[in-house]
Amino acid sequence: MKLFTAVQILLAPLALGAAVTKVEKKVSYDGYRAFRISTHNDAAAVSKKIAGLDFVPFNLDTKDHMDLAVAPKDVATFEALGLETSILNKDLGADIAEEAKFAPYETTTIGTAAVPAISWFNSYHAYADHQTFLNDLQGAFPANSELISAGTSGGGRPLYGIHIWGSGGKGSKPAVYFHGTVHAREWISTMVVEYLTYQLLTQYSTNTTVKAIVDSYDFYILPIINPDGFVYTQTTNRLWRKNRLTRSGTSCVGTDMNRNWPYNWALTGGASTDPCSETYKGVAAGDTAEIRALVALTTTIRAAQGIKLFIDWHSYGQYILTPFGYSCTARPTNQARQTTLSSGLAARIALSYGTRFTYGPSCSTLYATTGSSPDYMHAVATAEFAWTIELRPSSGTSNGFVLAASSILPAAIEQWQGMLYLLPTM
Ligand code: 0X9
Ligand code: ZN
């Protein structure tokens, strides 16, 4: 693990010349209409009917329903198919335009240091501002935090993050380890992970519960582990999921980093071998720059302190998913404890706004995945708990990945309340 100064992290994106090959036209979703189609356990039949239409699929678990956005030119044809549908959103482009109204970056002061203002959480933000946010936040709390970087992405961007510790001193406690934005389009995960970081640091000296939590664990938090994909969602295609790795022999770009971790990667059924698929697993386990760097960081943390809790923050669907993804029957040896804690977490999350989170083992609750991070973290990095949290919205509403900015704070507050239960209880 390398430590970076604020200046180095800020300047890093300027050194990207080699990765930028051509300027692509921004993808427009204006007039795209989002639908939910009931599939009644026969998604193949639905897929056959809509083949040939221009649409963007949203969900990977299509047993019950398929959510998708249909291009304006095909909406009438789609509606004439007579499928059992409901409209999720009339104009995806309009919501994307609304969501792109980023508020200017503002700071306030704590003592003499500039800290990002809480208004940060009123809108989404440009990639460069996310780096400034973390640099400024860390800069205000130098006594118990440091900036970290796991390394660099395929496009040369830093896999930056923050390490926070308490009264026991740096590196003295088991680790709580968070990853955000592995899937580029899941913008709410960036904001929620930043909010949790913000609360841990700004409340440490005033809130006894927070002090006890930070004194018990070393936090390693990386809000954007897929920076190349994230930047691409802001410059070119809001609904991009994978990283931006190009490979020989295909014009399709990107590997799904949540299918690339080196644990049971070779099993079939939980990922795609097609480079054009949204769940493309790569050619070999861990053959992306990001996963190689994150494996190294994880190995270091594990060796130094051990990992108590890992959470990979995603959207959407409102799920708390425990291992395993590779098998629907395999269970961790501490399954009973995993169930108690994930059910307790769901209950605590619901207390804030009534938001319902479904919990359970990931394969049997949602679908099979191979090479996903929680399987690796639990089985290889021996994290006691290694979960996926799929944030708002629920799978039954709205536009999925495009969540209105007015929902950022509620989505973050309910998770913070959840953490105030989970971290002292586990
Ligand atoms: O497919 C994924 O990687 C995650 N869902 S998302 O829509 N955010 O892409 C879910 C991973 C959870 N693991 C399993 N379902 N096995
Ligand atoms: Zn995801």
Q: What is the pLDDT of residues 252-288, one digit of tens each?
A: 999 999 999 999 999 999 999 999 999 999 999 999 9
If we measure between CA atoms, which residue out of 60, 1, 58 comes closest to residue 297?
1
In a domain, 407, yes or no: yes
Q: Tell me, using a 6 A CB cutoff, whether residue 372 lines ligand 1.
A: yes
167 plus 313 within the same structural domain:
yes
The CATH number assigned to the domain holding 38 equals 3.30.70
In a domain, 240, yes or no: no
Cα–Cα–Cα angle for 404, 66, 285, rounded to 5 degrees: 90
414 plus 327 within the same structural domain:
yes
* Interval between CA 363 and ligand 1 midpoint (Å): 9
85 plus 131 within the same structural domain:
no
**Model pLDDT for residues 162-214, shown as the tens digit of each residue:** 999 999 999 999 999 999 999 999 999 999 999 999 999 999 999 999 999 99
Reply yes or no on whether 390 is catalytic. Answer: yes
Q: Tell me, using a 6 A CB cutoff, whether residue 242 lines ligand 1.
A: no
* Interval between CA 420 and ligand 1 midpoint (Å): 25
70 plus 112 within the same structural domain:
no
In a domain, 270, yes or no: no
Which ligand places an atom closest to the C-alpha of 179? 2
Q: Tell me, using a 6 A CB cutoff, whether residue 314 lines ligand 1.
A: yes
Which segments in the chain show pLDDT lower than 50? 1-20
In a domain, 22, yes or no: no
All residues with CB under 5 Å from ion ligand 2: 183, 186, 314
Helix axes 187-202, 127-140, angle to 10 degrees: 10
152 plus 294 within the same structural domain:
yes
In a domain, 16, yes or no: no
Q: Ligand 1, from 366, 376, 387, 402: best to mutate by most atoms within 8 Å of Cβ? A: 366
- pLDDT of 63: 85
Query: Ligand 1 atom closest to Cα of 258?
Result: 3
Expressed as residue numbers, the domain containing 55 is 33-90
In a domain, 246, yes or no: no
- pLDDT of 398: 63
SS3 243: coil
38 plus 167 within the same structural domain:
no
The CATH number assigned to the domain holding 294 equals 3.40.630.10
364 plus 296 within the same structural domain:
yes
111 plus 210 within the same structural domain:
yes
In a domain, 392, yes or no: yes
pTM above 0.85, yes or no: yes
- pLDDT of 268: 97
Residue 137 CA from chain centroid, whole number: 21
Q: Tell me, using a 6 A CB cutoff, whether residue 366 lines ligand 1.
A: yes
Number of structural domains in the chain? 2
- pLDDT of 8: 39
If we measure between CA atoms, which residue out of 230, 76, 70 comes closest to residue 155?
230
181 plus 289 within the same structural domain:
yes
151 plus 77 within the same structural domain:
no
173 plus 212 within the same structural domain:
yes
Which one from 99, 290, 390, 414 is the annotated catalytic residue?
390
Q: Is the peptide bond before 280 cis (omega within 30 degrees of 0)?
A: no
Decide if 117 contacts 124 (C-beta within 8 A). no
80 plus 200 within the same structural domain:
no
In a domain, 241, yes or no: no
SS3 160: strand
Measured distance CA(242)–CA(3) in Å, rounded:
27
In order, the DSSP letters of 247-304 are -TT-S-----GGG-SSSSTT-SSSSB--TTSTTB--SSTT-SHHHHHHHHHHHHHHHH
